[in-house]
Amino acid sequence: MRTRGMLVRSATLADGRRRDVRVRGEVIDDVAEDLDAGPDERVVDATGKRLLPGMIDVHVHFREPGFGHKETWGTGSESAAAGGVTTVVDQPNTDPPTIDATAFDQKTAYAEQSIVDFGINGGVTADWSPAELFECPLFALGEVFLADSTGDMGVETRLFEAALQQARRNDVTVTVHAEDAAEFNLSAKERDDPDAWSAYRAAAAEEVAVRRACELAHEHDAQIHVAHTSTPVGITLADSTGMTCEVTPHHMLLSRDDLRDLGTHGRMNPPLRREKRRQRVYDLVADGTVDCIATDHAPHTREEKDAGIWDAPSGVPGVETALPLLLAEVREGDLTYERVRDLTAKNPAEIFDLARKGTVAEGTHADLVLVDPGNSREIRGEDLHSKCDWTPFEGWRGIFPELTMVRGRVVYERTPDGEESFGDPIGQNVRVHEEPDPAERLVER
């Protein structure tokens, strides 16, 4: 899939302008009208199609090391590319957890299988080795759990404050899983229906934890990013205190009403909320209050998820379906292309200082996704590329990429007759790859 150059002709950008986009090497060389094709360039006719910056998914669990039966960096990154994701950030709750330099290096070796760029988050446990960990090219410190989740990585307030102080000294953002276990509804444990998990991990648990995390961040002059916010109160608290937050597609589009069909496959942390809360979360995504969409891609096998509600592991896959679902919402008139661009690319790049990613502009990385807005297809787990082979969005419709590029290399392509091909594992750690000063970031034009 390697080419010396590419000219994407007559593409419609997120803001509606029609432009030719020339790619040379790893970067976008020109964005203009009526560019002439060079003799060594592949020309792609994008008439009637949208060219978007690749999605930066700042929250995935690609499971290696330790849980390769659920997902690998190879299968996870192929799933990402097929969904228009060009950069992923992996979370620390693997085996071993990413809490020291040895574990960081071990995960980096697995990440060499990736066909998309990546970041690696460090974690915090009672055995945390901050001196070692901060010597590594971390993307961020997180996911720091204020309540136990997959991997038993919950931390107490004292350790959380120590993490904030270390992160501030090292100019690293702390990604927070905000749930306060003291607010869990213990009476729900007497139930065994699929909704019991949502009743147990009550909305108040998130709201109390977000408030406290934001207070402590201000106290220690640190910056936090609240992961997978699932309540309107949690979102507005983060926004009102100058912190950032993400929302997942499942918290945006699914509610407790869907658990009748999903069963234990709908168990995740935080859990699905009531329909009224879900709709308000959607509104906050649409109106600009929410900073970004991240998937919390957390695959488990069907056999694992088929256990009872108190035994099934938490988490759902989502890295391949996020952008297609959002683009389908644009088609329905509920979002705009510009808002999707900001949620999936521009804002994550700005929040985490990825100066050469997140826009379609001269000099930025050619991380590009080409889609045909008129061509949607039904989402089926068996057609997706994640190792777990299922999706909570079975039967929904999505607008999937025809072509995905990472730093000028085509890593995924689908022909009109449905034939697919993937590129080589060329993914790089975004904290190692040289980045210009964010102040010099070029604007999209």
Per-residue pLDDT tens digits for 325-365: 999 999 999 999 999 999 999 999 999 999 999 999 999 99
Q: Among candidates 265, 254, 195, 260, which has minimal Cα distance to 228? A: 254
> From CA 43, how far away is CA 84, in angstroms rounded?
20
Q: Is residue 388 part of a domain?
A: no
Same domain, 102 and 25: no
The per-residue pLDDT for range 358-386, each reduced to its tens digit, is: 999 999 999 999 999 999 999 999 999 99
Same domain, 31 and 70: no
Same domain, 102 and 41: no
Same domain, 231 and 369: no
Cβ burial of 192 (10 Å; 0-12, 13-18, 19+) is exposed
Domain count, the chain: 2
Flag whether pLDDT at 237 surpasses 50.
yes
Same domain, 11 and 136: no
> From CA 189, how far away is CA 184, in angstroms rounded?
10
Q: Is residue 382 part of a domain?
A: no
Q: What is the pTM of this model?
A: 0.95
Active site residue 296: yes
Out of 121-130, 281-290, 389-398, pick the least confident: 121-130
Q: What are phi and psi of 36, to 5 degrees?
A: -85, 140
Domain hosting residue 423, numbered range: 5-51+360-375+396-440
Same domain, 18 and 151: no
Q: What are phi and psi of 101, to 5 degrees?
A: -65, -35
> From CA 175, how far away is CA 148, in angstroms rounded?
15
Give residue 40's pLDDT. Answer: 87
Flag whether pLDDT at 62 surpasses 70.
yes
Same domain, 74 and 135: yes
Give residue 147's pLDDT. Answer: 53
3-state secondary structure 29-87: EEEECCCCCCCCCEEEECCCCEEEECEEEEEECCCCCCCCCCCCHHHHHHHHHHCCEEE
Same domain, 10 and 93: no
Q: Which of 180, 239, 296, 367 is catalytic?
A: 296
Give residue 143's pLDDT. Answer: 66
Flag whether pLDDT at 220 surpasses 90.
yes
Q: Is residue 386 part of a domain?
A: no
> Residue range 110-124: average pLDDT?
96
> Residue range 105-128: average pLDDT?
95
> From CA 345, how far away is CA 247, in angstroms rounded?
14
Q: Is 433 or 283 the better-scoring residue by pLDDT?
A: 283
Cβ neighbours of 317 (radius 10 Å):
30
Quote the tokens at residue 248.
């997942």
> SS3 for 276?
helix
DSSP-H helix ranges across 264-351: 275-286, 302-305, 322-331, 337-341, 347-351
Same domain, 62 and 45: no
> Residue range 50-70: average pLDDT?
98
438: confidence class by pLDDT, cuts 50, 70, 90: very low
Out of 92-96, 99-103, 141-145, 365-369, pick the least confident: 141-145
Same domain, 136 and 223: yes
Flag whether pLDDT at 445 surpasses 60.
no
Same domain, 248 and 326: yes
Q: Is residue 11 part of a domain?
A: yes
CA 412 to chain CA centroid, Å, is 18
Q: Is residue 381 part of a domain?
A: no
CATH of residue 46 = 2.30.40.10
> SS3 for 219?
helix
Give residue 443's pLDDT. Answer: 43
CATH of residue 72 = 3.20.20.140
Same domain, 241 and 107: yes
Flag whether pLDDT at 440 surpasses 70.
no
